[in-house]
Chain A
C-alpha cells in the first residue's frame, strides 16, 4: 500500500473493498482455526493447572503443582521412558532399512513399481485392522512367527504377553509400518539427485558403489534424510493404535506409552486435569522435535 519513495498514499475506495474482500475470504478459515484449534488448545492448557474431573462440577486451581505431581507419577514416567525406548528402536531401524531398500529398488529398473507398492501397503492400510493380523502372527500357541521358530528348533517367544518382550514386539510392528513411508520418501529424494553429479564424481576417480554413495548420494540426500528422521520420530512418539488394540499398556505397564496414558488418565480414570497436563507435556515434546528439525534444516543440510 506504500508507493516507493513517496508519502503513504491514502487508500482508495477500491483498496478498501479489496481489503474487506480479503478479510471476508480469510474469515471462515480463521474462525474455524480459532474454534477448533486455538480455543481447545487454550482450554487444555487452562485445565492442566486444575484438578478437573469428568462429571464433577467445579474444580480447584493447582497451578504448577499439577505439573510437579506429574513428574513424580510413576505411570507417567514409565510411559515417558517407554515412549523414548520405542522411538529409539523404531526411528533408526525404519530409516536405515528404508534407505537401503530405496537404494536397492532404485538400482533395479525391473519391478520398481511393484516393490514400491508392496512396501507402501502398510502405510495405507488401517492400523487397527493390521494390529489384529499381528496379533495372530504373534500368538504364542498358533502364531506363524512361533511356528517358524519351532521349525528351526528355537524356543517360542511370548511376543506380546511378556513384559520383557512387549515393547520390542510393538516396535517391530512400528518399524514395519514406518518402513514403506520412509522408502517412498527416499525414492523421491534419490530421483531428485542430478545424474551429472555421478558422472562428475566418476571423472574425479570415484569408482566403487560404496564411495559413490558416500560422496554423492548421502550428502545430496541430506534434506530428505533429515525430514524422514523427524517425521518418523514424530510418528513414533504418537504411537497409540497398536498399544490400544494389542496390549492396553500391559503387562504391568510395560507397554504404557504417552498417548495411551493420556487417554487412560482422561477417559478411563476421568482425571481430566491430569490428562490435560500430560497432553501439554506431550505437545511440548513434539514442538521441540519440530523446532530442532527446522533449525537444523535452515543451517546445515542445504545444498541447493
Chain B
C-alpha cells in the first residue's frame, strides 16, 4: 500500500513538475491605482484560479494615463516592457502612430468563439486606428449629471423630475446658487482635457476634424453652440471658475448643487459623499435628440509583448479582463459602464446589480449615445487637448466671447495639426 502511494506520488511529480516549469508569467501594468487597484487584484486572482499555468505579476502602477503612456513609450523594445498595459482611449493613437503595441486583429480572426463573448463592433471601434486593433476596451464611461437632492429641494426644485435640457438646468442652478452660505449652483468639468467639451460638441451633432483630418470642423455652428452653452453656464447658471479638484471637493462637501462629470467617478463620489446628503445621478441634458452623441472615456487593454510564444496567453488574459467577468468587477468597483454587452444583460454578471444600485443606471442608459473620444493625429496630438482647455478657461473667466474663443481655439488647433 505504502509502495503504491509513493509510486503514485513519484508519477504525479514526474507529470506535474515539467508542467510547473512551463508556467507562463504575464507582466501587467495599469494606471490610476486609486480607481483600479482592487479591480485588477480581483480579476487577476480569478484568472489565475481558472488558469493554474499562468502567473500574473503587476509592475508598479502609474498615477495617471499620461504617465502610464510615457512609461510604455520609454520601455518599448526593452526587457522591462510589461506584456499588457491599460492605456487611455484617447492616447491609443499615439501608440498606433509610433508602431508600439501589437495589433490584435490576427488573434481575433483566429478566435472562433469571439463573436459569442459580447464584444460588439461598436466596442471594438473604440480601440481601432487605421485598421489596427490596438486593444480591447476595458473600462468605458460617459458623462452624467450628479446632483445634491437636498440642495435641489431647498431651492424649490423636484429631485425626482430633474431638468432634461440645458434651458431648464440654468434657472435651477441659479436658484441653488442663491441659497447662500457658500453654495454654488453648478459645475461642469471642462478642466483637465477636451472630453467634456466634446460632450457638448457631439451633443449638437458636431465633429472635431474633417474626414481626412486636415481641417478643424468644430469651428461651425455646433462648436459655437457648445461654447455658448459654457458661456450660459457662467452667466445664467452662475458657475464660478474652479480648479478641477476644488469642484470635486465642493460637490462632495455638499456645497455644489449639480455637477457634470464622468460616470467613472461614481464609486469615488459615493465614497466621498459618504451619506452626508442625498446623492443622485441623472442623464446629461439633451441638446439634439436626433443627432446628439456623447464621447466615450476610459481605457483599453493593450498587448505589448513581442514574444510569439507568450502572445496567445496574453491575448487570452486581455479577453478575460475586457470580457463579461472583467466588466462585472469594473462596473461596481468604479462606476464605469459595462463595455461588454453580455455583462450588462446576464444575471450571472450585472443583470441584478443595476436594480440594487440605481445610481449606476444613468451611465448605462446613455450607452447607445456613445461614440469614440476623438484622438488628434500627429506629434502635437496631446498638446491640442491643452489648447482647447486653455481657451475654455478664458471663456469661463468671461474674458472673451464664445465667438472669439471659437475663433482663437480653431486657429490654434489648426496650426497644431500635421500639415
Query: Cβ of A250 and Cβ of B382 under 8 Å apart?
Result: no
Q: A55-B94, A55-B100, A270-B382 are in contact. Are A141 and B250 (CB under 8 A)?
A: yes
Within the complex, which residue of B66, B74, B243, B383 is in contact with A250, where a contact is CB–CB below 8 Å? B243
> B95 to chain A: which residues have CB within 8 Å?
55
Do A268 and B246 touch (CB < 8 A)? no
Q: Name B205-251 residues within 8 Å CB distance of A.
A: 240-246, 249-250
A163-175: CB near B (< 8 Å → 1, else 0) gives: 1000000000000
Q: Once the chains bind, are A250 and B390 in contact (CB under 8 Å)?
A: yes
Q: Is A212 an interface residue (CB 8 A)?
A: no
Given A141-B250, A251-B393, A268-B382 contact (CB < 8 Å): yes
Q: Are A271 and B379 in contact (CB under 8 A)?
A: yes
Q: Does B27 touch A at the CB level, under 8 Å?
A: no
Interface residues of B in 81-114 (CB under 8 A from A): 94-95, 98, 100
Chain A residues near B241 (CB-CB < 8 A): 158, 161-163, 251
Taking the nearest CB of chain A, how far is it from the CB of B397, in angstroms? 6
Interface of A, helix, strand, loop or mixed by DSSP: loop
Q: Write out the residue numbers on chain B whose beta carbons fall within 8 Å of the beta carbon of A135.
A: 243, 245-246, 249
> Looking at the complex, which one of B100, B182, B393 makes contact with A163 (CB distance below 8 Å)?
B393
Name the one of B67, B184, B380 contacting A141, with C-beta atoms under 8 angstroms. Answer: B184
Number of contact residues on B: which range applies? 35 or more
Determine if B178 is an interface residue (Cβ-Cβ < 8 Å).
no
How many whole Å from A43's CB to the nearest CB in chain B? 14
> In whole angstroms, what is the CA distance A252 to B184 when docked?
22
A-contacting residues, B381-400, CB 8 Å:
382-383, 386, 389-391, 393-394, 396-397, 399
For B249, the chain A residues whose CB sits under 8 A away are 135-136, 139
**B382 in contact with A161 (CB, 8 Å):** no
Chain B residues 364-418 with CB under 8 Å of chain A are 379-380, 382-383, 386, 389-391, 393-394, 396-397, 399
Q: A54 at interface (Cβ–Cβ under 8 A)? A: yes
Bound complex: CA A53 to CA B382 (Å): 12
Complex interface: chain A residues within 8 A of B242 (CB): 140, 158, 161
| B45 / chain A contacts, CB cutoff of 8 Å | none
Chain B residues, CB < 8 A from A147: 182
Query: Distance (Å) between the CB of B187 and the closest chain A CB?
Result: 11
Question: Would A270 and B253 count as touching, CB distance under 8 A?
Answer: no
Cβ–Cβ < 8 Å partners of B391 in chain A: 252
In the assembled complex, 19 residue pairs joining A and B whose CB atoms fall closer than 8 Å, in A order, are A54-B73, A55-B95, A55-B100, A135-B243, A135-B245, A135-B249, A136-B249, A139-B246, A141-B255, A142-B250, A161-B246, A163-B393, A248-B191, A250-B243, A251-B396, A267-B70, A268-B66, A269-B380, A269-B382
Using a CB–CB cutoff of 8 Å, the interface residues on chain B facing chain A are: 66-67, 70, 73-74, 76, 94-95, 98, 100, 182-184, 191-192, 240-246, 249-250, 253, 255-256, 379-380, 382-383, 386, 389-391, 393-394, 396-397, 399
Interface residues of A, Cβ cutoff 8 Å to B: 53-56, 135-136, 139-142, 146-147, 156, 158, 160-163, 246-248, 250-253, 264, 267-271
